[in-house]
Amino acid sequence: MTHILPEKGISKQEIFAQLKQKQQQDFDWRTGRIFCSVYLAGKEIEEIAKEAYSMFLTENPVDPTLFPSLRDMETEVVAMCSEVLQGGENAVGTLTTGGTESILLAVKTAKNRAKALNPTQTEFELIIPYSIHSAFFKACDYFEVTPIVIPLRPDFKADAKAAENAISKNTILIAASAPSYVFGIVDPIKEIGVIALNNNLLFHIDACIGGVVLGFNRLAGLENVPEFDFSVPGVTSISMDLHKYGYTAKGCSVLMHKDKTYRKHQYYACSEWTGYTLVNPTILSTKTGGPIAAAWAVMNFLGKEGYCDISRKTMNTTHRFIEGINAIDGLQVVGNPEVSLFSFTTTKGNPYDLFDELNEKRWFVQFQLSNEYCPANLHLTVSKIHETLVDEFLIDLKACHEKVQKKGLVKKATEKVTIETVKKLAQNLSSENFEKLGKMLGFSNGAVPDKLALINRIMDVLPPDTVRNTLIDYMNDFYTVNEKR
C-alpha cells in the first residue's frame, strides 16, 4: 500500500503551490465558457461571497445558542426569500446545503406529516411530472416513498389532469417544477394548486433553479412571468437555491413552508441517545456557517434593484441565445422556455458529436440523453456572465454544427458495430461482461475519455438499469487515488 499522508507536514507555501497546480486541471470557469455547475455575476460578487464565507467558516449552526449571528442571518435571508416568493406574514423557511437537501426535506416533511395525521398509513406516494429533477427519485429512495410519475403535455408541461387521476389514499405530496431543469419550462402551477387544494394535499414547487429569476422577473415588472409562488392557492412549500441564480456561495438553498405547522414535520430531534441535546432543522448536523453568511452578504449587497437588473439582463441574453440557435439550420430549441435555461436538439447531425466539437473549442454545454418527449439534446444554463459571449458562442456553434454534419455519416458507420456489441453485452450482464462493457464505454481505472459522443450514444440505447449500474461502478473507481489518472 502506498502512503500518501506525509510523514512530516508540508509548508504553507508548498501547500498552496500544490493546490494551484491541482486547480490547473479544472475547467477555466472564469471565462464563462461553461453553461452548467457555476453561476457567475462578476468578480465583486464572488469576492463578497468568499470573504463572508471565510469569516464564518468555523462557526457552526448546529447550536444557534452559541452562534446567534448565524440564526440572525438565516432568519433574515429566509425573510428576504419569503418576499421574493410572496410568502406573506406566515411563511417560514430553513437554509439547507442545496437543492437536493431542500427536496429531500420537503418529501420527509410530507411523509412525517402523513404519519402524524394517520399513524396507520404504511404506503406513501409522491406524484411527480416526468420532467422533474432526479432529487425527487433520490428522496423516494432514501425515505421509502413510491414515485408516481405523470406524463407531460405536448408543450412539455406536466399534465395536471393526469396528476388528479394519480391521487390515491397513499398520496402524501404533489410536486411540480418552476421550471424543470430539463426544458426550462414551468409546470401549470395554478391548475395543480386547485387539485391539491380540492384533495387536501401538500403541493411542493421545485423552484430550485428558477425561483430567484422568476421572482425577480416579476419584481422587475417583466411581462408573462408564470405564477409559481405562495400567491398561488394550494402551494404549501417551495425550494429555491441561492447558490444558483442567487449568486451566493455553494451550499445554500432555502426550503420555504406556507406556515410553521408544516415546517414542524421537517425537524428532527433525538432524545434516545446520551449525548448533547439534539434538534436539527436539516439533514446535516455540524456544518460550516460560511454559506449562510455568504448568502446574507450577497443578498444585501445586490438588493432588489441589483437582482432585478441581473434578471432582466440574463433573460435578454437567453432570448439572444434562443433566437440565434433557432436561426441555425438543423438546430431547434425545445418548447418555449420561460426562464434562463433551455435545451436544444439537432435535426441534422448528432448532438453528442456537437458536444465534443464545442468542447474542443473550450465551450462546455451539458448533454442530456433522449427521453420519451424529446431526442438527445444539449442544455444551456445562462447566467449574467454570458452577456458578452453570445455572438462568439453562436459563431462557434454554427461552425461546429457544420463540421459534425460533414463528419456524421462516416462516424455512424464505424460506431454501429460498437453499439451493437454493447447492446449484446448488456443483454447478459455477468460481472465479466459488465467489466467489458465499462471498458468499452471508456470507464476503466477511473479514466475520463477525451471524447464523450460515443459513450453518450451508447448510454442512450442501454436499459436504464444498466446505465445506472455502470455509472455507479465508474464512480466507485473514480474516487480512488490513482497514479494513472
Ligand X SMILES: Cc1ncc(COP(=O)(O)O)c(C=O)c1O
Interface residues toward ligand X, by CB under 6 A? 98-100, 103, 133, 135, 177, 181, 206, 208-209, 241, 253
Per the CB < 8 A criterion, the answer to whether 414 and 363 are in contact is no
**Residue 36 CB coordination number (10 Å):** 13
> Cβ closer to ligand X: 32 or 251?
251
C-alpha span between 287 and 176 (Å, rounded): 29
> Cβ closer to ligand X: 97 or 317?
97
Compute the least distance from the CB of residue 49 to ligand X, in Å: 16
Backbone angles phi, psi at 128, to 5 degrees: -135, 145
Cross-sheet strand order for the sheet of 92-96: 92-96, 253-257, 237-241, 202-206, 171-177, 125-129, 146-150
Select the residue whose beta carbon is closest to ligand X and give its number.
Answer: 99
> Cβ closer to ligand X: 128 or 400?
128
Q: Which residues contact 29 (CB under 8 A, 6 or more apart)?
A: 37, 38, 40
C-alpha span between 64 and 61 (Å, rounded): 5
Q: Which residues contact 100 (CB under 8 A, 6 or more apart)?
A: 135, 138
> Cβ closer to ligand X: 164 or 206?
206
- Beta strand 92-96 with 253-257 is antiparallel
Compute the least distance from the CB of residue 288 to ligand X, in Å: 16
How does 365-379 read in b/e, with b if 16+ C-beta sit within 10 Å?
bbbbbbeebbbbbbb
Distances (CA, A) of 290 to 39, 95, 209: 18, 12, 21
- Beta strand 171-177 with 202-206 is parallel
Q: Which residues contact 46 (CB under 8 A, 6 or more apart)?
A: 40
Compute the least distance from the CB of residue 383 to ligand X, in Å: 13
Compute the least distance from the CB of residue 286 to ligand X, in Å: 19
What DSSP assignment string belongs to 116-128? HH-TT----EEEE
Helices (H), 201-289: 211-219, 260-263
C-alpha span between 104 and 283 (Å, rounded): 9
**Residue 384 CB coordination number (10 Å):** 21
> Cβ closer to ligand X: 74 or 101?
101
> Cβ closer to ligand X: 241 or 338?
241
Compute the least distance from the CB of residue 419 to ligand X, in Å: 29
Per the CB < 8 A criterion, the answer to whether 398 and 321 are in contact is no
> Cβ closer to ligand X: 155 or 392?
155
> Cβ closer to ligand X: 164 or 241?
241
Compute the least distance from the CB of residue 101 to ligand X, in Å: 7
> Cβ closer to ligand X: 133 or 401?
133
Compute the least distance from the CB of residue 178 to ligand X, in Å: 8
> Cβ closer to ligand X: 250 or 401?
250
Compute the least distance from the CB of residue 250 to ligand X, in Å: 8
Per the CB < 8 A criterion, the answer to whether 146 and 110 are in contact is no
Compute the least distance from the CB of residue 177 to ligand X, in Å: 6
Compute the least distance from the CB of residue 254 to ligand X, in Å: 11
Compute the least distance from the CB of residue 149 to ligand X, in Å: 16
C-alpha span between 173 and 236 (Å, rounded): 10
> Cβ closer to ligand X: 159 or 241?
241
> Cβ closer to ligand X: 186 or 333?
186
Per the CB < 8 A criterion, the answer to whether 108 and 141 are in contact is no
Compute the least distance from the CB of residue 412 to ligand X, in Å: 32
Q: Which residues contact 141 (CB under 8 A, 6 or more apart)?
A: none
